Structure 1
Amino acid sequence: GIPLQNGYGLTESSAGVCATTSPFGDPDVSVGHPMLDSTFRLDFDAEGAAPAEGIGEILVGGPQIMKGYFRDPEQSAKVLTADGFFRTGDLGRFDEEGRLHIAGRSKELIIRSGFNVYPAEIEGALTDHPEVIMAGVVGRQVSGNEEVLAFVKVATACSLNEADLSDFVKDRLAPYKRPTRIILAPDLPAAPTGKILKGKLISTFADELMRETAV
């Protein structure tokens, strides 16, 4: 009976800069409104931005933003603007109520057939399935394009298969966003915090990708 809240923040911003205050049962999936003294702007010229959809790189300002990385002025200059805003590397948009929605990381952006594909959207569609515990989506270069690979964690007793999940997301995702492959596993490589290590997904499941692709 206690409502769970979403939040957003980074080490460089001294933790939280956004949070929801949603009542129980509220379907809001944003990370909420800016916290006190936190200011935001979106860079629509950044890598992965989609101005037509209102998506740009999130820049955060305020008294809580770091002064720079310790003894690394070069890297500090790359992420801090002249007026003190921090380039988060995250992509997002604001809705009509001023709430921030995270689209994903610019470095994780998948460009498929000329279209921007945001892994977070596909992961959200997959985890809507009641038998999917968590999901990680990455891109993989193929001849002249980039394919979408999805890795999902399911319970060991789960009877779900790749075809089932492909059918499940068919009406939730545009054709160019649908995963080329969906690998189901009882566990995914993760950090001690539980965060999926996306950089290890393809190598961890290389045999499954090769075997099932061959079939």
Structure 2
Amino acid sequence: MVKNNLGIFILCIAFSAKSQTNFQLNYNSTFSGRNILFSSSKDINTKYEIGAGLRINIHNINGKLAHPDDQFNTYKKRLFMTQPINYFGISGFVNRQIFSNSKTIKPYIFYDLQATYSGTRNRFFLPYDVALDGTILYKEHIQFWGPFTWVEQNIGFGFKANLFDNLYLNQRMGLGSAFILGYEKQLLDKYFNWFAWNFSTLFTIGLEYRLGSKTE
């Protein structure tokens, strides 16, 4: 789904760039992993802002970014890219400004939707033998599963802080759900594993540049 529509999405963003008023560059930590998001948005009125963007997934094969913990999670923070299409995703969001009296801090509530298409990299330590003194010996196993279609949606609270002129700091935190769509015959429950879901979290920090005159 994401693979088929990614090219159309990029063309739509490029075509509509002139009508956008804000441009953002954000770092995101989501249920699936980490990504950099390039997005543009427009203020519908004094309260609402709507936007969309291109998501670039990131990982580090030899570092913690590829596998940040040693828990037996199947999907959480396990996103791992093996093909060029896996590095990209799409995002859409709606912000609703609240408590707008301040001229420098603009708090808001938001709905955020992100989707991407990629597999997972999983690392397990499983017992394989017992030493003469009774110590259990473990062996590392690396497993790649997928690819899957990931759909992550979160709602939460954020704020924009004016740094200077038209440049803003943007930060937000949210909670929601993550849907993982795809069939992997190596996983348990072979006949019903085409769909899985988990509770998710979202943390975003980045910069926003507002075109035109600064608004209060």
Aligning the two structures, in what range does the TM-score lie when normalised by the shorter sequence? under 0.3
| Structure (1/2) with the larger helix percentage | 1
- TM-score of the pair, normalised by structure 2: 0.28
- TM-score of the pair, normalised by structure 1: 0.28
| Structure (1/2) with the larger strand percentage | 2
Q: Which has the higher contact order (CA 8 A, sep 6+)?
A: 2
